[in-house]
Amino acid sequence: MHAVILDAASLGPDIDLSPIERQVTQLTCHDFTATDEAAERLTDADVAIVNKVKLGAETLEALPRLRLICVLATGTNNIDMAAAERLGVEVRNVTAYGTASVAQHSLMMILALAARLPRYQDDVAQGRWNTSPFFCLMEHRTLQLEGKHLVIVGQGEFGSRVGKLAEGLGMQVSFAARPGADSGGDRRSSLAELAPTADVVSLHCPLTEATHHLIDADMLARLKPACLLINCARGSIIDEEAALTALREGRLSGLGVDVLPEEPPRNGHPLLDALAEPLNLIVTPHNAWIAPEARQRIVELTAQNLADFGLISC
């Protein structure tokens, strides 16, 4: 069986692909693949292994030999799932590979924003500590997390692990009801109900119609001005511009995001421009998941998907 990886570079140069190699007779690796190159590169493939390359209906229809698509991620939104099903192409993804990494990154953002790290780092860089009349700076009011209320949206692998870490800091943790769920089937309080008492809100839910701009101007108005907002889920779950306005106006105390609506943000984004301002703001480049252990786990889970599908090495 011939497998082709279209965007191997997305796993990083330090990852061992041998678990996948052992499951196929031939493995062809491309570091990067444009959408319009996919069909040609998959012509002789029985298996497509892909992370972010889009495989639409037209591409899939041009690949009669293709039997399986292995996605090197949890989301399958880059695959035309209806076309794959119609053509008899199975799609398998991987889950729970980066739980520890994402939870650690989320907690890092909570801790950093609570300590006003962006503000104090800027103060030090600007020489304000050097000219302080006494031994420390305390212009930016910090937040002691013990006893504070963390509201998490998404009680899956990521959200649950963040909750456990936060409880270790002495925080009170609540999980909001799943957005868009039938109110009769989910007895948890809604985010709107929990928002007024939240000291920190952390998002760990998928991007759906129900969660698009879940944190909008109205929801931001429900939060306490001292609240911290963390998004390590998907861009557009928050209305980033509304959140930035709230941060600038003092109606939000801190904002940390690891995701943007367009990635990479080739056309820029207001949050990136705002990093030059004196704000309690952190933006990281969708790298909450990138611990080497997590990326190697993707390879291992993909190899298992190949084995489960019945592919064996000769």
Residues 51-104: tens digit of each pLDDT: 999 999 999 999 999 999 999 998 898 999 999 999 999 999 999 999 999 999
Q: How far is CA 196 from each of CA 44, 115, 178, rounded to the nearest angstrom?
A: 57, 22, 18
pLDDT in tens, 276-291: 999 999 999 999 999 9
pLDDT bracket for residue 312 (50, 70, 90): very low
Q: pLDDT band at residue 313, thresholds of 50, 70 and 90?
A: very low
**What are the extents of the domains in the chain?**
2-97+292-309, 99-283
Is the pLDDT assigned to residue 184 strictly greater than 70? no
Q: What CATH number does domain 2-97+292-309 carry, 3.40.190.10, 3.40.50.720, 3.30.70.1060, 1.10.10.10?
A: 3.40.50.720
pLDDT band at 183 (very low <50, low <70, confident <90, very high): low
User: What is the band of 209 on the pLDDT scale with cuts at 50, 70, 90?
Assistant: very high
Residue 130 has pLDDT above 70, yes or no: yes
Residue 228 has pLDDT above 80, yes or no: yes
**Confidence (pLDDT) at 310:** 76
How many angstroms separate the CA atoms of 299 and 241, rounded?
36
Mean pLDDT along residues 25-40:
97
Say if 2-97+292-309 and 99-283 have the same CATH topology: yes
**Cα separation, 285 vs 312, whole angstroms:** 37
Give the per-residue pLDDT at 77: 86
Supply φ then ψ for residue 203, to 5 degrees: -100, 130
| pTM, to two decimals | 0.90
Per residue in 247-278, pLDDT (tens digit) is 999 999 999 999 999 999 999 999 999 999 99
**The pLDDT of residue 311:** 46
| Token representation of residue 278 | 């004196």
Mean pLDDT, rounded, for 198-221: 96
Mean pLDDT, rounded, for 220-234: 97
Residue 314 is predicted with a pLDDT of 37
Task: Give the CATH superfamily of 99-283.
Answer: NAD(P)-binding Rossmann-like Domain (3.40.50.720)
% residues pLDDT > 90 (the chain): 94
Which residues have a catalytic role annotated?
A: 234, 263, 286
Whether pLDDT at 182 is above 70: no
